[in-house]
Chains A and B, each alone.
Chain A
């Protein structure tokens, strides 16, 4: 039986081996989940501070130094708030929904590798596990909306499920590209495969697709139709109050950071950086890169206005989904050509092996894929520029018409 570390120490100390193994796993779970749980308390402060700065406010600054203890004050307030359950609600599902919502996010952290040596579980199907667990969140929202027995909540839940389910398609398609390049679904192997070149340089479009669709998955602006305060009052969580309401929000905050960590691992080399063999430095690298993406996510949230539901859905089905399919086909084609020619790092059996490859070996494949990605991005950018130009011209013409005949207008 595999029994090392804490398990071995307990076993030596005279404990039953099964119990020792269980206790070591239990300690591992506490450690792995402790990191996100502690982080989320800090993140709520970061989020409020950043949002405040973008909106030209100061943000929380009363409780503790720089308002750092604000979250604890909020926590105490939420604990002491009366919790109202509407009489017409489905009580079991109503109470279960916040638990599932939070659990779906925290379960993702089981497969996230903090450093090359510290991770919860190195599953061979890590990426698939992430997709499966993350979609539990959709279920939680549908449950919450349905069980509340409120029309706003149900309408919000319908919209959300349509939106989340749609954006899962480009998300999974963009996930297929790191899996294809690394030849493994284990997140640990995916990071190791980036030792020569980060996957963002091999497929920038996939990274962008992943970022957009994961932003949609969290239900943050510009995709915050989940809440839509002006139309749906608050959406699926309208009937929730007190700590149950708080749990939905804790889950959302954590989900945003989880996505930042995931994009770092899948496309930006995870813990790879200078001196990554040292666990502390590796962990720092992961933290720094994730913080960067977390900040970008907050930035987008606080500057981009909310889209209409039809804009959101059409953007997905008529742009993101076709683009992700084409991207997958093109990438697999280029990889196959380069593999046949032999311009990619190969192992002894003649298979593509990116793990441990150096920068020079990776160059031909990187340049080819970059060129292909640029070829796909160029017409899109050109089209968007034309749309913008037409809108500007139409606006100018309207203004000129108004100037020419002031009596007609205002």
Chain B
């Protein structure tokens, strides 16, 4: 039951957390002046009128970083249980972990050799 209580705490916290920043914003919504006009609510680009669409296709490089990150992030989730149980594991587990991290590093070296990691 204690374990559930800990998560109940997280649950209540997660509901409360957006309320803390929402409260001042709501108070401000009551207090602040509201005088919108067309010029004021235009997109701000240092006074120059905006040209073209903002939501366009962007550089593929960001996508590559995203992919490499995904590889690392997914594999890191597997490393956490390994690290947690490490104090009870034997030499075989070290070998397995070594192999796993080596494969991870292999992906990094591949990306490195393919020159997708350097910012251009």
Which residues of A are in contact with B by a Cβ distance under 8 Å? 1-2, 21-22, 25-26, 28-30, 32-33, 37, 75, 78-88, 98-103, 106-107, 110, 120-124, 127-129, 146, 149-152, 154, 158, 161-162, 165-166, 168-169, 172-173, 176-177, 179-180, 183-185, 233, 238-239, 242-244, 246-247, 250-251, 309-310, 313-314, 317-318, 321-322, 325, 328-329, 332-333, 335-336, 339-340, 349, 351-354
With a cutoff of 8 Å between Cβ atoms, the chain B residues found around residue A82 in the complex are: 32-35
Q: Do B14 and A107 have beta carbons less than 8 Å apart?
A: yes
With a cutoff of 8 Å between Cβ atoms, the chain A residues found around residue B120 in the complex are: 310
Q: Chain A residue with minimal CB distance to B34?
A: A82
Residue B6 interfacial (CB < 8 Å): yes
**For chain B, what secondary structure do more than half of its interface residues adopt (helix, strand, loop), or is it mixed?**
helix
Q: Do B21 and A102 have beta carbons less than 8 Å apart?
A: yes
Bound CA span A246–B104, Å? 40
Q: Do A325 and B104 have beta carbons less than 8 Å apart?
A: yes
Of A78, A86, A151, A321, which is in contact with the most chain B CB atoms at under 10 Å from its CB? A151
Q: Do A172 and B76 have beta carbons less than 8 Å apart?
A: yes
With a cutoff of 8 Å between Cβ atoms, the chain A residues found around residue B119 in the complex are: 309-310, 313-314
Q: Chain B residue with minimal CB distance to A248?
A: B21
Q: Do A120 and B13 have beta carbons less than 8 Å apart?
A: yes
Bound CA span A151–B43, Å? 9
**For chain A, what secondary structure do more than half of its interface residues adopt (helix, strand, loop), or is it mixed?**
helix
Which residues of B are in contact with A by a Cβ distance under 8 Å? 1-3, 5-10, 12-14, 16-18, 20-22, 24-25, 27-29, 31-36, 38, 40-46, 50, 54-55, 58-59, 62, 65-66, 69, 72-73, 76-77, 79-80, 83-88, 91, 94, 97-98, 101, 104-105, 108, 112, 117-120
- B28 contact from A32, A81, A161, A313, Cβ within 8 A: A81
- A80 contact from B14, B32, B97, Cβ within 8 A: B32
Bound CA span A81–B58, Å? 34
Bound CA span A166–B102, Å? 19
Bound CA span A38–B11, Å? 22
- B50 contact from A110, A151, A173, A180, Cβ within 8 A: A151
Given known pairs A29-B13, A83-B29, A123-B10, the reply for A185 and B80 (CB within 8 Å) is: yes
- A81 contact from B32, B85, B104, B118, Cβ within 8 A: B32
With a cutoff of 8 Å between Cβ atoms, the chain A residues found around residue B62 in the complex are: 158, 161-162
Q: Do B80 and A128 have beta carbons less than 8 Å apart?
A: yes
Chain A nearest CB, measured from B90 CB (Å): 8
Q: Chain B residue with minimal CB distance to A78?
A: B28
Bound CA span A154–B14, Å? 28
Q: Do B104 and A242 have beta carbons less than 8 Å apart?
A: no
Can you list 6 A-B pairs with a CB-CB distance of less than 8 A? A151-B54, A165-B66, A179-B80, A185-B80, A310-B118, A352-B88
Bound CA span A325–B72, Å? 11
- B24 contact from A26, A150, A246, Cβ within 8 A: A246
Bound CA span A339–B85, Å? 13
Q: Do A151 and B45 have beta carbons less than 8 Å apart?
A: yes
Given known pairs A84-B36, A122-B6, the reply for A2 and B24 (CB within 8 Å) is: no
Q: Chain B residue with minimal CB distance to A169?
A: B72
Bound CA span A91–B1, Å? 42
Chain A nearest CB, measured from B95 CB (Å): 9
Q: Chain A residue with minimal CB distance to B120?
A: A310
Of A1, A169, A335, which is in contact with the most chain B CB atoms at under 10 Å from its CB? A169
Q: Do A239 and B43 have beta carbons less than 8 Å apart?
A: yes
